[in-house]
Amino acid sequence: MVAHHLALSIEKGEAPPFGLLQVAETLGGADWQPACMDFKAVLAGLIAEIPEAMRQGATAETVLQNSDKLADLAVIAQSWFEDSPEIAQLVASARGRNRAKLATYLLQSVFARHRAEWADLLLRAALWLREAPAEVNTCWRELAIVAKAIADGRDLSQIGLMRNVALRTISVLGDRA
């Protein structure tokens, strides 16, 4: 992940964050080189580690539907929402209307256009959670399944985690208005 973010900094024409350089020096990572992560290859590798029974059929559907209840994400996901003038305007114009319908609309329109960014975010979170000690038993498998479903073009309104993000978006932007 460090190599990936170094590469992203270079693509943007920015210097790496000073804190990252301090961490590299402390951990002995002075030889870290920028290298973009191949999203498809990394996701395929994670998916291959998940038992087949979990990634197919009714079990996978249950994972997608209940992905808003993943305990490991409770704190992290609080910071996940879309913040754009377009969405703010939609939220403001729909004030007082059915939040569930607005969330579905946002998921099928604006969020769908940002599908790749959401899949990337969830893949990185899954990679991070996978590094926890095995006895912690984090939800990285479920998160990888969600990232794959998003990348594969699944209807975002059918994914519990994304519905939760849309509702949080409405709440955050509604509070600002």
Same domain? 95 vs 159: yes
150-153 contacts at long range (C-beta below 8 A, 24 or more positions apart): 150/115, 150/118, 150/119, 150/122, 151/39, 151/43, 151/115, 151/116, 151/119, 153/115
Same domain? 8 vs 68: no
- Report how many domains make up the chain: 2
Same domain? 23 vs 78: no
Whether the pTM exceeds 0.85: the reply is no
Same domain? 91 vs 138: yes
Q: What is the mean pLDDT of each run of 10 residues along the chain (177 residues)?
A: 75 81 75 79 96 94 95 84 90 83 94 95 92 85 97 97 95 77
Contact 27, 2 (CB under 8 A): no
Same domain? 48 vs 106: yes
Contact 118, 132 (CB under 8 A): no
Same domain? 107 vs 45: yes
Same domain? 134 vs 155: yes
Same domain? 75 vs 23: no
What is the domain extent for residue 144? Answer: 38-176
Closest CA to 106 of 167, 48, 50: 167
| Three-state SS at 177 | coil
